[in-house]
Structure 1
Amino acid sequence: MSCMHKYRLGLEELDAAIDGVSGGIGILVEGPSISGKEAIVYSLIRQGLDDGEGVVLIPTMETGENVLASYGNTKNLRVVDCMSRPLGLDRLDSANVKYVNGPGDVTGMGVWTGRLLAEFSGRPVRLCIDSLSTLLMYSSLQLIFRFLHMLNGKVFAAGGLSVGVVDEGMHDQKTMASLRQLYRAALELKEGEDACYVRAVRLTPLPTPWFRFGEVIE
């Protein structure tokens, strides 16, 4: 069952260092707006699909069709699309993609995400919101906090993994502190001269070493 399942992050050295992530936990992917953040999110989603988990993704800067095209096996991938309608694209809900009115439609996102999570009842499931920073451009911190608290409650009760992505430099300390209340652990990102690095915090007794995971793109 999902409560015994160990979640992998799709980053070989980091996965070896933390020996899998137990269900019922939230991870905040935080760092500056660097090119490597997309690679981290891709690895997290790809690993869940490869491991046969249910994956629910809320991308705030990509259409559902583009997301599906990024992954080969989409049988267990569900997407809440926030972008197609604001772009004027006429799309109908499908098994894989559900449409809401935009990044500010928190109610619609909550309804569809809850239904999609329920599709994977009794199975390992991971939820990823990419990104929280975009949601906070359209709604108040208080509203987003309640929204995330509700969704994380559903994920944690199911023994799942919840991932939120945030551009750290866009927010003040109060906002970051509030988000960290909702996600017990973190993947911290930084950029070196020629590479991007990641480490896990609060998934092990001490932070892991920094691991290289991608090249810097100028």
Structure 2
Amino acid sequence: MNYKFGYPDMGIEVPPGTNLMLLGDLFSGKDILSKEFIREGLKNGEACIFVSTSDPILETVEEFSDNDLEYLGMVNCISSRTDLAPDFAYINQVRFVSSPTELATIMAFINEFLDIFRDKDVKKIRIVFDSVSTLLMYSNLKTLYKFLHVLTNTVKSRNAVLLLTMEEGVHDKIEISSLQRLSQGLITMAEGEIQFNGFSRKKFQYETQDNRIILNGD
């Protein structure tokens, strides 16, 4: 029942109910890794929920267009229904949030998708939240902590897995350490090295190439 990470050479599997924090700067490749986490789930017939606070919805669909999107739910905080053509194929799989400040609405839509996938008897569910850093621009730490506390507990109760992305270099140590306490694993990407802490202790050298993470060695 473990969740595979998508890079066979890593040999990384994540136990159900795990919440992960992915920390890296703008050029680290963390966005590539987080979206590959979704693609791996779709490839394996798992349900996935992608929450975006920065990518327009059409970009999100394009990112995953090489996969079967039947079990992909998308929560988008910067686009609206008016951005889409009337015959947009995936309209029933998208929920629009007017602003990243609407944390209650975001949580409600995540729960809605979780219920939809439960009714379809999908056993495994991945959630990627991209990104926590955007939420911190609009909310204070206390408010965001409460929101993420609810979300991470929901993930545990559903035996799902959650990957939260966070921008390194724009937050103080208190913000990072406070939110990190909600996770059972930390992944850092910096200076060409991916390091896993918590559920694993592995680290790898890597480079980004053609929108892919290329491992250079263990």
Where on the TM-score scale, by shorter chain, does this alignment land: which range? 0.7 to 0.9
In 1, Cα distance between the equivalents of 2:42 and 2:185? 22
* Count of aligned residue pairs for this structure pair: 203
In 1, Cα distance between the equivalents of 2:69 and 2:84? 22
Task: Give the deviation of 1:39 after TM superposition.
Answer: 1.2
In 2, Cα distance between the equivalents of 1:106 and 1:187? 24
Give SS of 1:120's match: helix
1:37 match: 30
1:100 match: 97
Which sections of structure 1, spanning at least 5 residues, go unmatched?
Answer: none
TM-score by length of 2: 0.85
TM-score by length of 1: 0.85
Which sections of structure 2, spanning at least 5 residues, go unmatched?
Answer: 212-218
Percent identity over the alignment?
24
Aligned with 2:208 (options 209, 214, 218) = 214
Give, as a single letter, the amino acid of the residue that structure 2 aligns with 1:139: S
- The 8 Å contact of residues 117 and 155 in structure 1, kept in 2 or not, is answered as no
Across the aligned residues of Structure 1 and Structure 2, the Cα RMSD in angstroms comes to: 2.2
- The 8 Å contact of residues 126 and 155 in structure 1, kept in 2 or not, is answered as no
In 1, Cα distance between the equivalents of 2:33 and 2:4? 12
In 2, Cα distance between the equivalents of 1:182 and 1:128? 15
- The 8 Å contact of residues 36 and 215 in structure 1, kept in 2 or not, is answered as no
The 5 A counterparts of 1:108-187 are 108-121=105-118, 123-187=123-187
Task: Give the deviation of 1:105 after TM superposition.
Answer: 1.4
Structure 1 residues 185-215: Cα deviation after superposition (integer angstroms, max 9, x where no partner): 0111012xxxx331211123xx213231524
In 1, Cα distance between the equivalents of 2:111 and 2:27? 30
2:97 corresponds to 1:78: no
1:7 match: 3
Structure 1 residues 118-154: Cα deviation after superposition (integer angstroms, max 9, x where no partner): 2222521011100100011011111111111111111
Give, as a single letter, the amino acid of the residue that structure 2 aligns with 1:62: D
In 2, Cα distance between the equivalents of 1:151 and 1:100? 17
In 1, Cα distance between the equivalents of 2:17 and 2:75? 22
Task: Give the deviation of 1:104 after TM superposition.
Answer: 1.5
- The 8 Å contact of residues 152 and 162 in structure 2, kept in 1 or not, is answered as yes
Structure 1 residues 71-127: Cα deviation after superposition (integer angstroms, max 9, x where no partner): 122111101010114x97478993210011111111211111111112222521011
In 1, Cα distance between the equivalents of 2:45 and 2:60? 18
In 2, Cα distance between the equivalents of 1:179 and 1:91? 38
1:200 match: 196
